[in-house]
């Protein structure tokens, strides 16, 4: 029985070693086998990013999965820059407002909303799962405004509970609230390179450019026009994406990643990774 157990253990170890040599480099948890994740953790990976997106209408010109596309990309880039992290699968079912009677994005077909308490429970159980597996730093990163408060509440609760265990849960709020992108748009406007009003408006310049940078098929060019707040009740958008390009989107995505990496580094600066 002992020999059989040792044999099984050796096979698992050998399999992990082979996987490390042959598997493509990926920072996404779902792209890896469990033995590859184990091997990464044995070599210093102790941070997991839990990205949250949203399934909501984005006007007639941007796909409903906008937030999910963006945060999957950025969470992978953040993990890559951190070097000791992996990005978990995106949570795409998030609070989008009252379902019945509907309001906001729920007024448009395709939007999916969940109650705050449901979202909170999924976040908490995901975090508990990763703590169980040995991750020491758990980071919530949300690309949608409706996610932020709940993520902060769960992060505060679990950090307090796990302080004695040396496990921290961080709400990476700078990813969403930092004004680097807005400042960049203002600078381009001042230099007459752009003529964008309210660059961060829903389904506007920033949203369209970021999706274009990830996959141009996510934007319908023929339906792009200068929308205003008056258009929201009918079209679900209030921004002007007419000057959006994939090149601009790469810059904007990079600024989001930068804000998140800086906050994470600052939060764990005094801890050994």
pLDDT per position as a tens digit, 204-242: 999 999 999 999 999 999 999 999 999 999 999 999 999
Per-residue model confidence (pLDDT) at position 224:
95
Q: What angle do CA 23, 213, 249 make, to 5 degrees?
A: 130
Per-residue model confidence (pLDDT) at position 71:
98
Per-residue model confidence (pLDDT) at position 269:
86
CATH of domain 25-32+41-267: 3.40.50.10310
Per-residue model confidence (pLDDT) at position 10:
43
Q: What is the mean pLDDT of the chain?
A: 92
pTM of the model: 0.90
CA distance linking residue 248 with residue 243, whole number of Å: 9
Quick: pLDDT tens for 148-168.
999 999 999 999 999 999 999
Task: Please state the rounded mean pLDDT for residues 113-137.
Answer: 98
Per-residue model confidence (pLDDT) at position 18:
53
Does 34 have pLDDT greater than 90?
yes
Quick: pLDDT tens for 8-21.
444 444 455 554 55
């Amino acid at each position: 029985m002992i020999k059989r157990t040792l044999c099984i253990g050796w096979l698992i170890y050998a399999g992990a070693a082979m996987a490390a040599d042959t598997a493509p480099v990926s920072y996404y948890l779902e792209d890896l086998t469990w033995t590859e994740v184990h091997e990464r953790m044995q070599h210093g990976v102790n941070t997991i990013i839990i990205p949250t997106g949203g399934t909501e209408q984005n006007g007639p010109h941007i796909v409903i999965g906008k937030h999910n596309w963006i945060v999957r990309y950025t969470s992978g880039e953040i993990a890559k820059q951190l070097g000791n992290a992996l990005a978990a699968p995106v949570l795409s079912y998030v609070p989008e407002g009252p379902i019945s009677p509907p309001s906001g994005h729920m007024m448009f077909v395709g939007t999916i909303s969940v109650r705050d308490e449901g979202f909170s429970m999924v976040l908490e159980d995901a975090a508990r799962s990763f703590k169980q597996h040995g991750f020491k730093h758990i980071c919530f990163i949300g690309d949608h405004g409706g996610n932020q408060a709940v993520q902060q509440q769960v992060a505060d609760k679990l950090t307090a509970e796990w302080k004695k265990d040396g496990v921290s849960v961080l709400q990476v709020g700078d990813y969403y609230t930092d004004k680097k992108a807005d400042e960049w748009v203002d600078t381009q406007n001042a230099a007459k390179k752009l003529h964008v009003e309210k660059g961060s408006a829903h389904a506007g310049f920033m949203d369209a450019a970021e999706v274009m940078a990830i996959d141009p098929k996510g934007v319908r060019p023929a339906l792009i026009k200068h929308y205003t707040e008056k258009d929201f009740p009918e079209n679900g958008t209030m921004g002007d994406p007419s000057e959006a390009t994939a090149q601009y989107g790469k810059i904007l995505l990079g600024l989001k990643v930068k804000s998140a990496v800086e906050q994470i580094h600052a939060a764990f600066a005094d801890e050994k990774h």
